[in-house]
Amino acid sequence: MKKIYFLLLFFPYMAFATTQYSDEDIIKASKPSLYYTSINLSVNPVENFNQKSKEDILNIRNQYMATSYFQSQMPYAYTPSPAIFGQIKDGKMWKSIFAYHCSNVDNADDTNGNSYVSRDINNPDILVGLSRSLSIHVNNKNMPHWFCDENQNPDALPSRIYYHPEYNILSIEYTLDKRILQHSLLAQYTLSDLNARDFGYNAIYILKNNNIVMVKQSNITRHIGKTKDYIHVGMNCTAPGGCNNTSPSKPEMNFKIQKLPADMLIKLWKNNPQSPQQPADMYVRLVFKPK
């Protein structure tokens, strides 16, 4: 059953009238036909951030925020969150997309190529995205060649993004190679919540999974979690003095795809809800289709 509320969203301080739907309504609404009555959003390219200054990175972020659909709905100019971007260091290297999958292959330079974090910085409308859990780039010495091709990395960028204003559902579609299902690590992922946090969404919960299992018993299908991503200098790369990268590890968000197609429906709140059943401020639907 739907209810009409007058909501205040606290980042920025913006008031607007919206219809609030029950979880049951949202689950029914989050289906493929939603695409035909939705707003298509852009998927922006990744790039190499190596040796750029912090100012350079923030300018890039501001550039893409200027074209962000969600930022265009805000009444105030965007300011990058110091909690997320404040620890970026000038002139550092950034771990590459390739390295997050194949950093142990032939001891290759793990900063060579497009930077992994550019997926998030250049695409602010991907509020919650697909990312690799820590286990895969620690245990990836024997990754198959097809998987270690940057152009085929299944979680580099989504194939399509669209938003349905009435139900407040952001749909993000990824096209995955079915061969990932043959390798236990390749089908294991986690969630990137950097953009959700930057837009002020602080609480996260997985409402429904299809053909997906959570890796840890304590996970965000069982309890409300917090968005946590931020960028700092970490030591998980070969560059002297470390690289700018995203932290922390979020085992409560780790999941494994069992079969394709698969999908996940996520609830986001600006303020901590009283219960998981409370209507969300934003819904994110991740869709995984076979290649």
Give phi and psi for 180, each to the nearest 5.
-60, -25
In a domain, 244, yes or no: yes
What's the full length of the chain, in residues? 291
Does the N-terminal peptide bond of residue 82 adopt cis geometry, omega within 30 degrees of 0?
Answer: no
In a domain, 217, yes or no: yes
pLDDT given for residue 132 in this prediction: 82
Token pair, residue 272, equals 């901590």
In a domain, 74, yes or no: yes
To the question of pTM greater than 0.75 for the whole model, the response is: yes
pLDDT given for residue 7 in this prediction: 40
pLDDT given for residue 134 in this prediction: 59
In a domain, 48, yes or no: yes
C-alpha to C-alpha distance for 257 and 192, rounded to whole angstroms? 16
Q: What is the DSSP string of 140-175?
A: -TT--TTTT-GGG-TTSS-SEEEEETTTTEEEEEEE
User: Which residues are within 8 A (CB) of 220 and not within 5 positions of it... i.e. 6 or more apart?
Assistant: 204, 205, 206, 214, 252, 253
Tens digit of each residue's pLDDT, the chain (291 residues):
444 343 433 333 333 335 788 899 899 888 777 766 889 999 999 999 999 999 999 999 999 999 999 999 988 889 999 999 999 999 999 988 877 776 554 445 788 889 999 999 999 999 999 998 755 554 555 667 677 665 555 567 999 999 999 899 999 999 998 988 988 778 889 999 999 999 999 999 999 999 999 999 999 999 999 999 999 999 888 889 999 999 999 999 999 999 999 999 999 999 999 999 999 999 999 999 998
C-alpha to C-alpha distance for 38 and 41, rounded to whole angstroms? 9
Structural contact between residues 132 and 189, judged by C-beta atoms closer than 8 angstroms: yes
Give phi and psi for 29, each to the nearest 5.
-75, -25
Look up the domain containing 213 and give its range. 23-290
C-alpha to C-alpha distance for 290 and 141, rounded to whole angstroms? 25
In a domain, 187, yes or no: yes
SS3 per-residue string spanning 112-141: CCCECCHHHHCCCCCCCEEECCCCCCCCCC
Structural contact between residues 191 and 265, judged by C-beta atoms closer than 8 angstroms: no
C-alpha to C-alpha distance for 69 and 119, rounded to whole angstroms? 17
Sheet holding 243-247, edge to edge: 93-94, 243-247, 230-234
Q: What pairing do the DSSP bridges indicate for beta strands 169-176 and 282-290?
A: parallel
Give phi and psi for 190, each to the nearest 5.
-140, -175
C-alpha to C-alpha distance for 17 and 8, rounded to whole angstroms? 9
In a domain, 17, yes or no: no
Number of domains comprising the chain = 1
Structural contact between residues 101 and 40, judged by C-beta atoms closer than 8 angstroms: no
Does the N-terminal peptide bond of residue 273 adopt cis geometry, omega within 30 degrees of 0?
Answer: no
In a domain, 184, yes or no: yes
In a domain, 283, yes or no: yes
